[in-house]
Amino acid sequence: MVNAAEALSIILQAVEPLGAVTVSLPRSLGYAIAEDVIAAENVPSFDNSAMDGYAVRSVDVQNAPVVLEIVGEIAAGTVSARSLEAGQAMNIMTGAKIPDGCDAVVQHEWTDRVDDSHVTILRTVSPGHNIRKAGGDIVAGSVVLEKGKTIRPQEIGILASLGKRFVQIVRPVRVAILATGNEIVDLDKPLPDGKIRNSNAYVLQALVQQSGGECVNLGIAHDERTQLREKITDGLKADVLITSGGVSVGKYDFVVDVLKEIGVEIKFWKVNIKPGMPLLFGVMKNRYVFGLPGNPVSTMVTFLKFVKPALLKLMGHQTVEASLTVHARLQHEITKSDGKRHFVRGILESRNGALTVRSSGSQVSNVLSSLTMANCLIILPEDRNHFNEGEEVEIELL
């Protein structure tokens, strides 16, 4: 049995980013950029005013207050044909291009209009005052976004300011989802005695979508070799196949056998964690299989800790795990006894500015309701089994 860190490293070593596709700028949100973006031009491309006010020559206002002659007006988007001479000012708006001869803009609040053609400048300013230099945001030729960066609204802004209508992103991963189990019934069927609803396929679909992937729901396979083989073979047409259930050691748990028969190389089966111990990871050429245990909480936790980083790496993201580690004080003691890494459903809150955390309720792995109460997972490492009230523990936000 591997531990959690080994399992993740095996997964991340096995998967490589998928190919690139071109999408329109608004569609690129959330994906990883597939190329270094180099600025073809300065942003802004010209010196411009940071304020509404008066374009001046700073030497003219060294003895402020002084009266200057107004020789023009420059609205945003227009360019002054004339240059500024000694003793002159131009009324200039925010974002308008600085006229030749001008080396400072005095904001409106520091001026007093005398008449149509004269203004009193009330304060002295230094050269460069209120002037936003060409290239002050982005310098032509520089790498503005590195390959692998996740595109957020602010990256969309940078790309738009460079005039990019289309962006190369790493393509979305295609994920097939297969629920297994004779007891599992889908949402459109009545629920006979002894059966349960297929909640996992829907949780997984939501998780894949949230990670930026595209889903194919393969429905439910019975615990029966022929049907499993058929559906799994079908699922291996996608980049990633996620199965739920059937990977434990029960009499009818056939997923591992069937994967082997088909030719999937099992990289690991069983991880030293709770919940989710029977987790399986396999590879067939450039297809990847995650066999998730069927208990709903195990399914979700193993997805978050192991499948999601793989999907993010496949989709080219530089960062595949939470980049910040957060700690909080335990509101109560927690004891375990199995030497496993535990992911405890927790409620994180801020008390007087300090982060504290408590269990969100039953930690049994079929209880989804305590996961809906939870806003974090409390991480309890393998090498310790007792955690005191008031002790700092690592948490991950949900």
Sites of contact with ligand AMP (CB under 6 A) = 179, 181, 183-184, 196, 198-201, 244-246, 248, 250, 293-296, 366
Give the largest CA-CA distance in the chain. Answer: 95
Residue 179 binds: one of ligand AMP, Mg ion, none (C-beta under 5 to 8 A by kind): ligand AMP
Nearer to ligand AMP, 150 or 200 (CB): 200
Q: How far apart are CA 155 and CA 33, in angstroms?
A: 10
Q: In angstroms, give the least distance from the CB of 165 to Mg ion.
A: 49
Q: Which of residues 173-202 bind Mg ion (CB under 5 A)?
A: 181
* Amino acid code (one letter) for 317: H
The binder of 40, among Mg ion, ligand AMP, none, by C-beta within 5 to 8 A per type, is none
Residue 293 as a binder of Mg ion (CB under 5 A): the answer is: no
Least separation in angstroms between residue 244's CB and Mg ion is 9
User: Taking the complex as a whole, how short is the minimal distance between the CB of residue 280 and ligand AMP, in angstroms?
Assistant: 11
Please state the closest distance from residue 6 (CB atom) to ligand AMP, in A: 22
Nearer to Mg ion, 124 or 182 (CB): 182
For 74-131, the three-class secondary structure string (H helix, E strand, C coil) is ECCCCCCCCCCCCCEEEEECCCCECCCCCCEEEEHHHEEEEECCEEEECCCCCCCCCE
Residue 252 Cβ vs ligand AMP, minimum distance, rounded to whole Å:
8
Long-range contacts of 372-375 (CB under 8 A, 24+ apart): 373/345, 373/347, 374/345, 374/346, 374/347, 374/398, 375/346, 375/347, 375/348
270/298 Cα distance (integer angstroms): 12
Q: What are phi and psi of 193, to 5 degrees?
A: -55, 135
Q: Which stretch binds Mg ion (CB under 5 A): 195-203, 243-251, 284-292, 374-382?
A: 243-251
- Which residues here bind Mg ion, judged by CB under 5 A? 181, 245-246
